[in-house]
Structure 1
Amino acid sequence: MQQKVDKILKGLESGQITPEEAYSYIYENEKYKDTDKSENNKDIAIIGFACRFPDAESSDKLWLNIIKGSAAIKNIPEDRWKLDEELKKRGVKPFASMCRYGGFIDGVDLFDANFFEITEEEAVAMDPQHRLLLEAVMEGIEYSGYSREGLWGSRTGIFIGARGGDYKQGFDNNYQNARAALTGTLGNFNSARISNFFNFKGPSLVFDTACSSSLVSTHYACKSILNHECDMAVAGGVHLCINADTFISLNLMPRSLASNGVSYTFDKRADGFVPGEGVGVVILKSLTKAVEDGDTVYAVIKGSAVNNDGNTIGVTTPDLDAQQEVVEMALKAASVDAATISYIEAHGTGTMIGDPIEIRAIDKAFKKYTDNKSFCALGTVKPNIGHLDTAAGIASIIKVVLSLYNKKIPPTLNIEMPNPRINFVDSPFYPAAYLSDWNPVGGVRRAGISSFGFGGTNCHMILEEAPAQVKSTEEFEDRKEQLFLLSAKSQEALKKLAENYSVYLSKNTQLKLGDICFTAGTSRTSFKNRLAVLCSSTSELSQKLGSMEVLTGDGLAASHKVAFMFTGQGAQYSGMALELYENQPIF
């Protein structure tokens, strides 16, 4: 413990960590120093993530939209379906309060089949949900600092919230594409394709609990890590509105969809949710292993729980007692006091009855721990991007991870007049209507996430900010010059990748050049089209990548060893290769 305190003090002196972070780090160590070691090993680290949500092709864009208070809801794109024509086919008459809006993502028909070693024939027959998941997992793994080659054959598990889609392409009249069409539409292939492409040997599972699917999938991913079934896990979910069937069915259910395309969660005007679509994944590892491996930890999953409503007055009717119970179970699993939770990412569908039941349930759970009022912010991402069905839970997780990482509580849209059925005044909660700093409670920032399935499967999860990651002040300074490497499967892709790096680096000049070059050179898959940049600063690297002032060429078909040769016959001198010796472990 004393060594850890000394390290923290050094970090404070050098300015690497703030006093607030130091307090948080010490507080958590003090809290758990007398507990059994196995208790500490229950924590799961989120070491990477990736997403595509409405008007947010990346997590950076999602965060920007959320803190700006932007909504990505729009009319149904004509390239999906024309609602009036679909209604006519089904003999349904349109009505004035029918919802004609949603949160849609662009380019769902685009896919680089060659990149994922899939034939054109098979790609055409693949459900776009499968394609989106492959892309998201690839991005998430690289974001976490790993590559396909580095994880090849590893005990990595895949846990996906999804269902068999409505995609019907692939079958011709003679059923010549039967195999491709079958594997392209079956729900289990949402995960099976990923395991196959990356040669992952851990569990490969798909969960369909409707709206709670991707939070439930993350819950069981954590359990699988803790049960040593896998060393690392990818958890997430996907949902696409490929045809009009579900959309029309929801419209025909009274008080389900918002007629004007606006979700008024927790507000007096609440009259339903807005459908949405998207894909998201998180990369998970035990916190102990993540710290040992030097991974960047973005947030920590402290614990979670799953249950079901059981028998209610209707199979789709939510049950207050069951929702209360799942929150209490999650708090117990996480070994935390509800009084230390300062934000709740609610299921928050924006229905007049559903929202009050949810808040009443969590209110009753919290009051078993504390009588404090209005200390915990309440929000939801659904007014920004819509209700993503099987991907709703992962959208909530990624939002909370970004909030913890940036130490901000973002605004929830459209809260002007609180729902009269919700008693905020006498509860621990207040609606997060404005962007604010996230101040720690008890020395730590913690959040709860709720997701309730259409059919009664409930899940609640407790997240906490990442522990202070103190770097040793005795580390060697970066070399005067660094070698930055990138590769792609085509020159066009390489140019686009270089442009993306250039823009990112221009906005993040505080990043260490050595870290950037190391990660780009070791955590990305190596492809034939390559570039190399010799640089001495992030600004120089950004400028060279932006103007493509780089050395490019084709990579060798086979890998070769590199040898260093030093001449003899008196050519040596005092201090020769000193910089290599001081900075490179291999020397």
Structure 2
Amino acid sequence: MSCRLPMAPDPESFWTLLRDGRNAITDVPEDRWQTVEPAADAGVRRGGFLDGIGEFDAGFFGISPREAAAMDPQQRLVLELAWEALEDGGIVPARLRESRTSVFVGTLRDDYESLVHRQGAAAITQHTMTGVNRGIIANRVSYYLGLRGPSLTVDAAQSSSLVAVHLACESLRSGESSLAIAAGVNLNILGEGAVAGERFGGLSPDGVAYTFDARANGFVRGEGGAVVVLKPLARAVADGDRVYGVIRGSAVNNDGATAGLTVPSREAQRLVLHEAYTKAGVSPDDVQYVELHGTGTPVGDPVEAAALGEALGRGRGTADPVLVGSAKTNVGHLEGAAGIVGLLKALLSIRHRRIPASLNFETPNPAIPLDDLGLSVVRELRDWPHPERRLLAGVSSFGMGGTNCHVVLAEAPEVLAGNGTAPGEPASVSCAVVPWVVSGRGEEALRAQAARLRSAAVVRDADPRDVSWSLLTTRTRFQTSAVVLGEDRDTLLTGLDALTTGRPSPHVITGTAANNGRLAYLFTGQGAQRNGMGRELYEHSPTFRTALNNTCDALDPHLPHPLRDIMFAPHNTTKGNLLHQTHYTQPALFALETALYHLLTHHGLKPDYLAGHSIGELTAAHLAG
């Protein structure tokens, strides 16, 4: 997953914002909304805003400056977040090329198109049509990554992004997609959007979201984006993925004919909840928490509460209510991206096994009898109820035109509760010197990556070997590269400091990879043997151990003593001294080199050439077939 939200540029900082009970609502930045009068109500002037929405590393994506300027910033943001989400999932984007990976993006705004057309015909270029088309938001990701699955932008008003998640899940279940990228994005570039919300009667005049509270008087606008990467659970288990949560089921419907186009239907919302939990095979009594649509409007909140109470809360009483809350009290209502923000909050709450407070709640709305409905608003950071059970949550999102969506989440199976490990090899392989590989598109990008890696390593206090594994196996390798070497965490961090500032260091190796470089393995001959060679790898690497065992088993019938015992015997012992006799030296080197070859190829190093000297020449011939 990845996100860019007000005061939260990534999921970890979003969780910190939620955990600490802070809100990111501020006055509109000075460089926005020049058409809105400074004396406008707080509801128009306040919201959750991103910094630097015009910033974009066009060169990273191979986009010219002219085309980048013509692109809706929503396109740019989703491109960046899709890349970050794949990295977070341990997926090298290049490996998805030509795959049936799908992209579903929920959004409803086209502020940038309006801004461009204000400039008149002179501002229209060859890139304008693709730059401002909302469908291209999803298509741009598919194009850049070379994805062959469905690719579409979803506009279901405020429920767009959660509907995008639902469609992504259905595409995976049907086999239409092998992997799915689901996203939501919303940027409030023009002030007219805020004015429209005010005149519609939906905005909170004081710029505060009072979800389910007696003071509820409207929503507060927010902006940003989020992306999740989805795959079938069985495949995630097989791939050893880190899994934030499991989508058990989801449902979408519409209000139909109500008292007005934007008047919500309690019955339709109840039905979408019932259908989602039926599909998920989850009893309503087992649901512990629901992330509300929760806009804080005097009309919408009571309808949502009544539907939720009928579907999940009736009969539960005050002893075991359904806990509810809304991220809109923290970052505002992201409209087309609101649903996926709620999904991220629920997933992070499951991941951390804590439920953050829903802000600005003091006295229940008189039209929402919480006790009778079996509901309880979370007022402070707390543990999950019944933590001994599998954690279960729901996420709701409703569009003003009546399109309702609900997603049912569960915590991941225990086997997936850790950080994830590539199949067949542990994350922590013991070795004296650990390499941290960093790369970027140019020197400036390389230094920036080093700085980000250092910051993340300090915050997460991760095992240096686990970091090394992830950098080697789950990151794209760009042409400008560096390797930071160290025997401990402090040495590695010192090396990153040097790389970040461009200072020389004995712990840092930098260089530029050749575009068409080829890889050769050279196997040595007699004289390179040493007592104990391969023993540590044998103890820690299943791949190496299997390959060495297979080779030794084939050679042992031809030797007076088992070869592995001779290789691992200590120096200056009877068995250890045998290693230096030719009839043990050469089979031992052959076995070691064969096992090393299989270990390296397991990790993706495929040689173009094999060569060797003496017994190494026989090893090369054997491995070449």
Q: Give the TM-score normalised by the residue count of structure 1.
A: 0.86
Alignment of 1:420-569 (within 5 A): 420-440=366-386, 443-469=389-415, 477-509=429-461, 511-548=462-499, 549=505, 550-568=508-526
Give 2:240's aligned amino acid.
Answer: G
For the 8 Å contact 1:100–1:259, the answer to whether it is kept is no
Q: Where does residue 106 of structure 2 map in the other structure?
A: 161
**3-state DSSP of counterpart to 1:449:** strand
Verify: 1:208 aligned to 2:194, yes or no. Answer: no
Verify: 1:145 aligned to 2:90, yes or no. Answer: yes
Residues in 2 aligned to 1:160 and 1:101: alpha-carbon distance in whole angstroms? 26
Residues in 2 aligned to 1:274 and 1:412: alpha-carbon distance in whole angstroms? 14
- Structure 2, gaps ≥5 residues long: 500-504, 545-597, 600-625
Q: Where does residue 72 of structure 2 map in the other structure?
A: 127
Alignment of 1:14-163 (within 5 A): 49-85=1-37, 99-163=44-108
For the 8 Å contact 1:485–1:530, the answer to whether it is kept is yes
Give 1:557's aligned amino acid.
Answer: N
For the 8 Å contact 2:47–2:220, the answer to whether it is kept is yes
Q: Work out which of the residue numbers 372, 381, 404 in structure 1 matches 2:350.
A: 404
**3-state DSSP of counterpart to 1:517:** helix
Residues in 2 aligned to 1:186 and 1:201: alpha-carbon distance in whole angstroms? 20
1:231 Cα deviation after fit: 0.8
Residues in 2 aligned to 1:311 and 1:128: alpha-carbon distance in whole angstroms? 36
Give 1:288's aligned amino acid.
Answer: A
Instruction: Pick which of 271-280 and 461-470 moved more.
Output: 461-470
* 379 and 98 in structure 1: CA distance in 2 versus 1, 3 angstrom threshold: closer
Instruction: Pick which of 415-424 and 191-200 moved more.
Output: 415-424
Q: Work out which of the residue numbers 281, 287, 309 in structure 1 matches 2:227.
A: 281
Residues in 1 aligned to 2:425 and 2:179: alpha-carbon distance in whole angstroms? 31
1:352 Cα deviation after fit: 1.4
Q: Where does residue 26 of structure 1 map in the other structure?
A: none
For the 8 Å contact 2:6–2:331, the answer to whether it is kept is yes
Residues in 2 aligned to 1:216 and 1:186: alpha-carbon distance in whole angstroms? 20
Verify: 1:196 aligned to 2:154, yes or no. Answer: no
Residues in 2 aligned to 1:369 and 1:578: alpha-carbon distance in whole angstroms? 63
Which protein is richer in helix relative to its size? 2
Give 1:521's aligned amino acid.
Answer: L
For the 8 Å contact 1:503–1:542, the answer to whether it is kept is no
For the 8 Å contact 2:159–2:338, the answer to whether it is kept is yes
Residues in 1 aligned to 2:13 and 2:380: alpha-carbon distance in whole angstroms? 19
* 441 and 213 in structure 1: CA distance in 2 versus 1, 3 angstrom threshold: same
For the 8 Å contact 2:248–2:408, the answer to whether it is kept is yes
Give 1:536's aligned amino acid.
Answer: E
Residues in 2 aligned to 1:357 and 1:538: alpha-carbon distance in whole angstroms? 54
Verify: 1:363 aligned to 2:314, yes or no. Answer: no
1:539 Cα deviation after fit: 4.0
Q: Work out which of the residue numbers 276, 299, 304 in structure 2 matches 1:330.
A: 276
What is the CA RMSD across the aligned residues, in angstroms?
2.3
**3-state DSSP of counterpart to 2:228:** strand
Residues in 2 aligned to 1:486 and 1:77: alpha-carbon distance in whole angstroms? 35
1:374 Cα deviation after fit: 4.0
Q: Where does residue 6 of structure 1 map in the other structure?
A: none
Q: Where does residue 414 of structure 1 map in the other structure?
A: 360
TM-superposition CA deviations, 1:72-103 (whole Å, max 9, x none): 111111211135459xxxxxxx7657532111
Q: Where does residue 341 of structure 1 map in the other structure?
A: 287
Instruction: Pick which of 102-111 and 527-536 moved more.
Output: 527-536
* 573 and 551 in structure 1: CA distance in 2 versus 1, 3 angstrom threshold: closer
TM-superposition CA deviations, 1:504-523 (whole Å, max 9, x none): 212222x3333211211222
For the 8 Å contact 2:36–2:192, the answer to whether it is kept is no
**3-state DSSP of counterpart to 1:270:** coil
Residues in 1 aligned to 2:488 and 2:33: alpha-carbon distance in whole angstroms? 50
Verify: 1:179 aligned to 2:137, yes or no. Answer: no
TM-superposition CA deviations, 1:510-566 (whole Å, max 9, x none): x33332112112222211221101223344323321343422222222242241422
* 349 and 118 in structure 1: CA distance in 2 versus 1, 3 angstrom threshold: same
Instruction: Pick which of 155-164 and 536-545 moved more.
Output: 536-545
Residues in 1 aligned to 2:530 and 2:246: alpha-carbon distance in whole angstroms? 51
Give 1:563's aligned amino acid.
Answer: Y
Residues in 2 aligned to 1:60 and 1:52: alpha-carbon distance in whole angstroms? 11
1:173 Cα deviation after fit: 6.7
Give % identity.
38
For the 8 Å contact 1:83–1:100, the answer to whether it is kept is no
TM-superposition CA deviations, 1:450-506 (whole Å, max 9, x none): 000010000011111111127899957522322210100122222122122112212
**3-state DSSP of counterpart to 2:59:** coil
Q: Give the TM-score normalised by the residue count of structure 2.
A: 0.81
For the 8 Å contact 2:208–2:219, the answer to whether it is kept is yes
Residues in 2 aligned to 1:537 and 1:231: alpha-carbon distance in whole angstroms? 40
1:353 Cα deviation after fit: 1.9
For the 8 Å contact 1:373–1:425, the answer to whether it is kept is no
Verify: 1:234 aligned to 2:181, yes or no. Answer: yes
Q: Where does residue 572 of structure 1 map in the other structure?
A: 529
For the 8 Å contact 1:482–1:513, the answer to whether it is kept is yes
Residues in 2 aligned to 1:173 and 1:67: alpha-carbon distance in whole angstroms? 47
Residues in 1 aligned to 2:33 and 2:318: alpha-carbon distance in whole angstroms? 50
**3-state DSSP of counterpart to 1:218:** helix
Residues in 1 aligned to 2:208 and 2:362: alpha-carbon distance in whole angstroms? 13
* 219 and 539 in structure 1: CA distance in 2 versus 1, 3 angstrom threshold: farther
1:226 Cα deviation after fit: 0.6
Aligned residue pairs, count: 529
Give 1:291's aligned amino acid.
Answer: V
For the 8 Å contact 1:159–1:205, the answer to whether it is kept is yes
Give 1:495's aligned amino acid.
Answer: R
Residues in 2 aligned to 1:297 and 1:542: alpha-carbon distance in whole angstroms? 28
Residues in 2 aligned to 1:214 and 1:369: alpha-carbon distance in whole angstroms? 32
**3-state DSSP of counterpart to 1:179:** coil
**3-state DSSP of counterpart to 1:426:** helix
**3-state DSSP of counterpart to 1:242:** coil
For the 8 Å contact 1:170–1:178, the answer to whether it is kept is no
* 393 and 173 in structure 1: CA distance in 2 versus 1, 3 angstrom threshold: closer
> Which one scores higher on RCO, CA 8 angstroms, separation ≥ 6?
1
* 560 and 96 in structure 1: CA distance in 2 versus 1, 3 angstrom threshold: closer
**3-state DSSP of counterpart to 2:61:** coil
1:375 Cα deviation after fit: 2.8
**3-state DSSP of counterpart to 2:85:** helix
Q: Where does residue 261 of structure 2 map in the other structure?
A: 315
Give 2:69's aligned amino acid.
Answer: V
* 334 and 480 in structure 1: CA distance in 2 versus 1, 3 angstrom threshold: same
**3-state DSSP of counterpart to 2:372:** coil
**3-state DSSP of counterpart to 2:257:** coil
* 203 and 559 in structure 1: CA distance in 2 versus 1, 3 angstrom threshold: farther
1:58 Cα deviation after fit: 0.9
Residues in 1 aligned to 2:46 and 2:383: alpha-carbon distance in whole angstroms? 32
For the 8 Å contact 2:429–2:465, the answer to whether it is kept is no
* 572 and 95 in structure 1: CA distance in 2 versus 1, 3 angstrom threshold: closer
Give 2:433's aligned amino acid.
Answer: E
TM-superposition CA deviations, 1:178-225 (whole Å, max 9, x none): 431000011110100000000011110111011100000000100100
Residues in 1 aligned to 2:100 and 2:376: alpha-carbon distance in whole angstroms? 43
